[in-house]
Chain A
Amino acid sequence: MLGLNKKDLGVLLLVALLALAAPILLNPFPADSGMAQFNAGYPDLMQRFVIFGIFAIGYNILFGLTGYLSFGHAAFLGVGSYSAVWMMKLLSMNVIPAIVLSVIVAGLFSVVIGYVSLRRSGIYFSILTLAFAQMSFNLAYSVLTPITNGETGLQISLSDPRVLDGANAPSYPNLFGAQMNSAATLELGSWSFTFSVGYYLCAFLMLVAFYISIRIFRSPFGLMLRAVKSNQQRMNYTGLNTKPYTLAAFVISGMYAGLAGGLLASMDPLAGAERMQWTASGEVVLMTILGGAGTLLGPVLGAGFIKYFENIFSKINDNVLHGWFSFMPDGLEDFIVTIIHPFVGKGWHLTLGLLFMLVVIFLPGGLVEGGQRIGRMFRRKKSDPNTPDGETTPAE
């Protein structure tokens, strides 16, 4: 079905189910309980999960398949955001033209940057992309202020022309009238689940992006990209021109980044230069490696993992910690809180860094490899005590 084999179709359906049920699955704790702060099922964060999932899926097509480590992909994310906001200012608050233009502009932008950067490989390629991204960031921040509104960031205002919108069109990003921030809340006992229009639009586009990425992975084109990573010399002496292959991969991943940027702006109609900064480029590298570069699911997992940390761990402050350890004697409580303090709240980067180091050292294949190892362990345990059908347990 859909031109996929059984295993890939299974993975796609699993991702679709998880995306559909995310508002429920990510809210396992009752709203008024102490654990509610670990709930991730609110629209803003779920949108981030899937949008950065798209960003990482696209980045993985370049880095995971061809091995070219770009340090400038945030530039395409930023360009996508600016294009989307401009579309909403000039044309319509409907998100469709905004998203379409953000993909196109990011694609054109990546043709130019890719064409120049791909003249070199290895560390020089990385530095070139980093230089381009920082140039874009600084231009957006200062010289291009008429287009980007500099430090303040590009915003929508009531005086915008919006030539396609009628007099009583919604003044917030919408999809044919359904506003991105509108949501339905379901109360079940003390649990509360929010289903928002914006999240489901992003999730749908993430599934489309994921599906296209599976097709690319399994195609002759994907095979050639893996060949680029493996041995460019042999490719050249096998009658294959590597340049257009790497450029195509670069542009495709740039367009994914543009889509992610356009969606960010569609969920919250503003675009700032900081979206292009090198830390943002580094974040997508972390996501891809943490999840598992070159695997289908890895980048999505990595994106979810990092965004969860960023939003949830950073909320744990000293008051929360004191609350947790209040059962201890005073001195011990203060001692424990002092020890944990640097790792949570504003220090969440420290925890993330440690986890990243652990993953890179012990699980070079990322979280996906971890999952596979656990799966294998279970299969072995099951098949050991004379159960011959233990091997039929599906992988992943």
Chain B
Amino acid sequence: MKKKIKIKLNGRLKSINKNSTLFNIIQKNKIPLAKVAIELNRKIVDKKKIKNINLKNNDKIEIVHFIGGG
């Protein structure tokens, strides 16, 4: 059985496979990469490097985009 780790994705607790990369999360959630920005533990992530970023237990990911606003 694959070992699991817990992360927070946009405030929601998620259980994911150990050794998952940030790219795996983006892919799994069908995030349109060109239209978002990503933070990992409050630090902005270079979107070109997400395949090389391995996630750890308790990592906090924020994925944001533009919405209607004043």
Is chain B found bound to chain A in the same assembly? Answer: no
Binding site for A on B (CB under 8 A): none
